[in-house]
Every structure is written in structure tokens, then in C-alpha cells.
Structure 1
Amino acid sequence: MKTLFGVWVVAVAALGPVLAHGAEPAQPPAVEPDYVAPAASLAPERVQDMQRRLLDWPGLARYREDNARLPPREPGRVVFYGDSITDGWGRVPGTAFFPGKPYVNRGISGQTTAQMLVRFRQDVIALHPEAVVILAGTNDIAGNTGPATQGMIEDNLRSMTQLAQANGIRVVLASVLPASEYPWRPGYRPAGRIRALNRWIEQYAHASGAVYLDYHTAMANAEGGLDARLADDGVHPTPAGYEAMAPLAQQAVDAALVRE
């Protein structure tokens, strides 16, 4: 892993600075090490896993049948849209996903904003929600689908926001949750990039008429990460983490639903 890690840092350094505001130093974009490793060095099962994922790169199959079973429209419907942090909400043992509310979970573990943009029409617009809560970007920073600059992440979030608003859907843009490291990217320190992205998300939310949902301020520790009580692996919330997020999300949804 150390050899591969050194390879990808060199491979993506040419993408240049990440921070648009220049407020603090940041590492270059990360990338999944398998994507830059010599093909012959990869175990067959790793290649097979990548092939499987590429057959449905945006994850359109995940919720297709669930979407078909939903009533076409439902008063107060809100789609929570994101990656594993959303995906686990109500599915991780000990967590509850807004009992009694007509809220729909459309998170997919590991996804980046590029994948989410592709499935946005199927998993958000076609469900005719009154609002969507978008929580995404940490997997882009981790390089799950290739190196991503902040500008690339901004473009995808901007496009999702514009698609929603063009279809009469109110938008809540959530800050990326704190993380000082990723268990699946040893040695990479994402806290600075997360803070920079969150500054842009907040500014764009205000400029676009979306509601900004600030998880980061309420949950970050001194290192810009998550304490074990909130996320035992430093990334994915525990029941206590989701408990901390729930009232913040509900307040943001309430604010969005009263907007014209």
C-alpha cells in the first residue's frame, strides 16, 4: 500500500491547487490506488470488483424497484440524497430515519457527486419530492472514482441544485461531515479540503436560494475530524452521530419547506 500510495500522489499532483480560496494548505486530490497500479499487479478479484461496479457505475439499479413501489406523489416527501452516511441512516443498527415522516433515503455507499448527478433524475426528480437534502463530496475528496478537484465537486453540486430547482424542488445543501483521515486511504489527511469545500457550499447555498445545513460545526473535533462517540471509524456515524444530525437536518428541511 505504501508503494501504491506514493504512486498516486505523483500521478495527480499535476492537477494543481485544490483550494479555491487559498486559506490553508491542502494535499493534492486523492485517487483509488487500484486505478493507478500496474494492471498486472492487481489480484483477479480486484479486477472483477471494478468490472462489476462499472457495469452500473451510477448505481441506477439500487433503488429502481423501490422507486416503482412508491406512490407517485406524497405530501411532505423529502429525499435524503447522498453516499454511505445517508445510506446508513435508519439501516445501521440502533438508528432511526425520521419515524412517521414521509422521508425517503436514497443514499448509496461509496458514491461521488459525479455518480449522484447521473442518477439524480431517477432517484430524486422522478419521485416528486417537495425538498431534497444533498450530502456529498467526501468520497470525491477520497478519490473513489478518480481524482477530483474542488471545482469538479462544485460543478456537480451546482448542477444537482439547478436540476432540483428547475423542477420545483427545494434544496438543502449539507456540509460534508468532518474527517481527519479515511480508513481506506491510509496517510491521506482530508480535513483541509473538507473545510474549503464546506465554505463554498455555504456561500453557494446562500447565493442560490438553497438552505445550508451545517453538520460540520456541530460535530468537528479539534483535529477537524469526528470523535469515536460520533463515528467509531472517524467517518461513518454511530447511532449517537445520527442522533446529533437528526435535529439539524429537520430544522433545515423545515426552513426549506416554508420557502417560496
Structure 2
Amino acid sequence: MNGRGRACRAAAVLLLTLAGQATAAFPATEPSGPTVRGSGIVTWAASAQRVGPGADRSYRMIVRVSAGGSDLRVRISNAFGDHPLTVDAAHAGLQREGAALRPGSNRPLTFDGARSVTVPAGGVVWSDPLPGRVPAGARLAVSLRTPDARGPATGHEMALTTSYLGRDADPGGDGAAGWDRTTGSWWYLDAVSVRPGRPGTGAVVALGDSITDGWGSTPGTDRRWPDYLARRLRADGVGVANAGVSGNRVLTGHSGVPSASGRLERDVLSQPGVRTVIVYEGVNDLKSRSGVSAADLAAGYRDIVRRAHAAGLCVVGVTVAPFKGWFQWDSDAEAVRREVNHHLRTGGDFDAVADVDRALRDPADPERLRPGIDAGDHLHPDDAGMRAIAEAVDPAALDCRR
């Protein structure tokens, strides 16, 4: 083998370790519904929202995949853009430290065979599959360059992970040179998929609000409750995607983000390989003081369940945790919360229920989070509380064989 051949082989092995290359590829068309469920699974995701104005710069986003697999693909979103978005360079590699990548691991992504792609306003585009295998739990770096980007940028505001920006940084480089700014948001990247090594393996999406988004957990440590769930399910090769957005409600949109029902198609049903959605929403509806009743929330849940069932998904409901001490708490909201939780436990709408209320409440005062898991604002759990949420989810309930 000549020097060039050895270098190419080394690059593939460094990025895509632990297994040989798969020969089958994901479809090049935009995935939707059951057509992609046998092709690959979502292994990381972040719900799209507006994150600021677009700019002529490079982005190096750091994300932790859940399940490992071959034929990695990334989804670039311009969901909130009002102009077409051109990405003229896109690469995927493995993080070494900071903005630096493992030498030789950074490889170009293509889109229908081309190195550049233009995403229409409001649209998304998947990359072609990258041959080889990505290990479970890997820290993946996806680097994009967006020349002449303008208008609202799409991404995810609260990443709780440090990523990197550079005006003149090279997305195809391994080093940290040129990546001279940090960001706490993800930009344009909203999903990563892989082909699982075990046939029939699927993925779980956590549809939620700021608790699912990770508010209250320690930044940079991947201690959101979906992260803990991903670690529990890793041995089974199950993908876990986080579709949490701070402030999200079941019934109405908030801060430019659609309601849980309004974003169900984009954030859950369009993701490849999804078998189950866990719905942990409702506290923002209760504390908004908008007169929402338990019947209103029950109707909202039923709409989500109906549409998810129509797509062949299992649906796990989650009881609403207590929040007494939060500035918007009052006895009326508490009464509705109890009604809602009674409905979730006994109504039969969901295929299974994770009783997070029982897992997190203070036995001495069930209207409050128990001591030792409160992040300090009496609404959001800390790292220990996030672990307790994940442990309240029964892995056996995630596959209802629909």
C-alpha cells in the first residue's frame, strides 16, 4: 500500500473505529415516516429554534451521540430561515479537546454527491452517508461553513455544551487554529443518524420543555435526563434523541417555538428509526396562569398520542413533577397538576406512564421537589434529579410492538 492509501485508511479508522465499513447506505432523499425506519436511527438531535442572525462564518458543533453505528448522516436545518442557506463545506470528526479533533478523523460530508448544499428557507437537508462506524457515546464534531448567510439562523439555543466559531476557521482542519470564539448554542445542525449494528434496533425521542432540555443540570457534563437514559440503553444499541425546548407547552407556542403538538412532525415523526416518544410536557401550561384545565391538557395529550400512534410509535407519558416554591406556583395550578397526573396514571391514553411525580416529590410535602434534587429554583431538578427522571422510565415500556 502506498503512502496515500495508508493515510486514507488511517483517516477512516480514526473517525469510524471499532468495526468495518457497512456496504448499505441510507436513502439520499429527505426521510419521513416509515420509509427510513429500517434504514437508520437518530442518535442525537436538538429541537430547532431561532438562535440569532446568520453570518459568514464557520461553526464547529460538539455533540455526543447515543447509539453507535455505521453510515453517519447529519441533518442541516433552515426551519426558521427566511432566506436560502448555503453550506459550502461540511465535515464530521471526533473531538480530541476543545476545538481540536483527533488527527486524521475529520472527513468531508457530501449532499447528493456534492460538497456544498443550499437549504431552502423553512427546509432541512440530510447529508449522504459517511462509510464506516461511529462508537456509541462518541463526542462528534460537525463543522459547517455558511458564506453569505443572512436572516434568522436556525439552531438550538441552550446546548449546555461548548462549541466553536471562527471567521476564517477551516471546517476541514483537525486543529484548533482559527476557532477563536465559543458558543453555548448549536447552529443549523439538528440531527445525526447512524445505521445500527443490530437489526431491528430503534430510537427513542424525548419530547419536552426546559427540564428535558437540561436546565438545572451541570453544563458540559451531559447530565440531562435523556443523557442518563441513553447511557442506560447503550448496551441495547438504542438511539436517544432530545427534543426538549425551554418554555415549551402542550397547547400553545411560546417565544417563537411551536407547541409540543405543533412541532411533533418536525422533531419526532420525521426522525429516522423512531419507535417511541416520551412526552414530558405540561408544567409550562400550568404555570402560565392562562386558565388551562386538566381537560384541556388531556385533549392536548390525546392529539399527540393519536398522531404518534398513526405513525406506528409507542407513546410514554410522564407525570408532572411538583413545583411549589417557583414564583408562578399557586394552589389553583397545583390542583390542576394533581388532576392531570391522575388522568395520566388512569386515563389509558398512553401505552405506558413514567411516574416522575412520585420519583421527585418530597414525601414530607408532595407539592415540592424533595431535598437533594432541586437545582435551586424549585422547578428544575439538578443532576441527581435528572438521573431520577431517567430511572423512572421502564426500558421494557419503550417497545409496545405497535
User: Normalised by the size of structure 2, how large is the TM-score?
Assistant: 0.44
1:46-74: CA deviation from partner (whole Å, max 9, x where unpaired): xxxxxxxxxx7xxx95569444x423876
Match of 1:218 in 2: 359
Partner secondary structure for residue 161 of structure 1:
helix
Alignment match of 1:123 (pick from 267, 272, 276): 267
Q: CA-atom RMSD, angstroms?
A: 2.6
Partner secondary structure for residue 300 of structure 2:
helix
How much does 1:90 deviate? 9.9
TM alignment of 1:202-217, pairs within 5 A: 202-204=345-347, 207-208=348-349, 210-217=351-358
Distance 1:80 1:243 in 2: 14
Distance 1:90 1:73 in 2: 32
Which sections of structure 1, spanning at least 5 residues, go unmatched?
A: 1-55
Distance 1:120 1:143 in 2: 21
As a proportion of its length, which structure holds more helix?
1
Alignment match of 2:243 (pick from 97, 102, 106): 106
Match of 1:10 in 2: none
User: Normalised by the size of structure 1, how large is the TM-score?
Assistant: 0.66
How much does 1:235 deviate? 0.9
Answer yes or no: is 1:166 the counterpart of 2:166.
no
Match of 2:335 in 1: 192
> Structure 1 residues 163 and 72 mapped into 2: Cα distance closer, same or farther (>3 Å)?
farther
Counterpart amino acid of residue 242 in structure 2: N
Structure 1: which 4+ aligned runs deviate by more than 6 Å? Answer: none
Aligned residues: 194
> Structure 1 residues 76 and 142 mapped into 2: Cα distance closer, same or farther (>3 Å)?
same
Alignment match of 2:193 (pick from 64, 71, 74): 71
How much does 1:208 deviate? 3.3
> Structure 1 residues 153 and 61 mapped into 2: Cα distance closer, same or farther (>3 Å)?
farther
Which sections of structure 2, spanning at least 5 residues, go unmatched?
A: 1-79, 81-152, 157-186, 252-258
1:141-200: CA deviation from partner (whole Å, max 9, x where unpaired): 0117x43222221111110011101000111001011222323x2x62433321111001
**8 A Cα contact 1:181 1:191, kept in partner:** no
How much does 1:91 deviate? 6.1
Partner secondary structure for residue 225 of structure 1:
strand
Alignment match of 1:134 (pick from 279, 284, 292): 279
Identity %: 25
Counterpart amino acid of residue 71 in structure 1: S
Counterpart amino acid of residue 360 in structure 2: M
Bigger Rg, structure 1 or 2: 2
Partner secondary structure for residue 118 of structure 1:
coil
Counterpart amino acid of residue 192 in structure 1: A
